[in-house]
Amino acid sequence: MPPVLILHTGGTIGMAATPGGYRPLPGFAGHLRRQLAGRGEFTVVELPPIDSADLRPGHWSAIATALAERWHDHAGFVVLHGTDTMAWSASALSFMLRGCDKPVVFTGAQIPMGEPASDALANLAAALDIAAASPLREVAIAFGPRLLRGNRARKLSATRLDAFDSPNCPALAELGTPPAFHVEQLRPAGRPDFRIAACTDGAVGVLTFYPGISAASVDALLADPRLRGLVLQSYGTGNAPQADPALLGALERAAARGVVMLNTTQCAHGSVAQETYATGAALAGIGVVGGADITPEAAFAKLHWLLASDSDPARIAAALRQSLAGEQSVA
């Protein structure tokens, strides 16, 4: 049987304490091989380590390309990644690895490998077992007690070892020996038709509504000439302030120049339904796409990927209304 590929991209799992804080551990690949001796066949590939907080959209294509180049030689894939931006990267790869027919499992750790009470080996062992032999045929996150769809997952705790959950989508499996899969939740295997696009900084912005937000602050965000897409983080079921006409006017001008806007909710659980209240219907009226129950992380990655793959705002808006990789519910 072909080996599993472990792709190390960085993160706490591969760090060690130094007087200046946690830093990447030199020779981590060798350390990893020793720790996993006897756990089946695997190969380790290291990319230049990325601190999770330093992740940029351009890193997604590098990670996807590293997997695609080795796709036919491996049974499955484990991606070691920093936890802070893991949900963004897992979401992006779910779109780039279109037609995925093998397990791709992201994991990491809250505590570095080798430190007391570290969760690193437990998370890695679970991910390795799933990547080696399981019914999974999509991009997922194995962390703590659960296996989650990658583009549905969110990091909900800064410190707990069960840091991730997917509030709007059931877990794919409960992790144990062996893992208990919820097979009815799994996506079927596809036929690989990878669309690895080079996402660029500044193409997508995020606008979070808050009490008293000014039109001037929105105009400042929209003034970036690189901006082609905007993720709105609105109240409740997709509501935005409407007492200030200048605020809606700023968004309307952005729509007129081709900026594609996707509305998500600030709530961890629930869905956008823009027509429920007049404050949401006003957004729909200027062409803002309702994002249903997509997470902000998946919304950001999906819009980035679509903008890198297509130049037509109407086609991009139409694709935002569809579930391309299980990232949102569609009525």
Closest CA to 134 of 194, 184, 80, 178: 178
Q: Which residues contact 32 (CB under 8 A, 6 or more apart)?
A: 6, 8, 14, 44, 113
Q: Which pLDDT tens digit goes with each residue over 115-166?
A: 999 999 999 999 999 999 999 999 999 999 999 999 999 999 999 999 999 9
Length of the chain: 331
Break the chain into its structural domains and give their ranges: 4-185, 204-320
The CATH superfamily label for domain 4-185 reads L-asparaginase, N-terminal domain (3.40.50.1170)
Residue burial 13-46, b: 16+ Cβ < 10 Å; e: rest = bbbeeeeeeeebbeebeeebeeebeeeeebebeb
- Given pLDDT bands bounded at 50, 70 and 90, which one contains residue 331? low
H/E segment holding residue 74: none
**How do residues 257-282 score in pLDDT, each as one tens digit?**
999 999 999 999 999 998 887 777 88
Q: Is the link from the previous residue into 135 a cis peptide, with omega within 30 of 0?
A: no
Catalytic residue positions, numbered: 12, 83
**129 annotated as ligand-binding:** no
Q: Is the pLDDT of residue 322 over 80?
A: yes
Top-confidence residue, 94 or 279: 94
User: Is 52 part of any known ligand binding site?
Assistant: yes
Model pLDDT for residues 201-218, shown as the tens digit of each residue: 999 999 999 999 999 999
In the CATH scheme, what is the code of domain 204-320?
3.40.50.40
Is residue 329 a known part of a binding site?
A: no
pLDDT tens digits, residue range 187-246? 999 999 999 999 999 999 999 999 999 999 999 999 999 999 999 999 999 999 988 899
Same fold, 4-185 and 204-320: yes
Kind and range of the H or E element at 80? strand 76-80
Which tokens in the block code for residue 280?
A: 């949401």
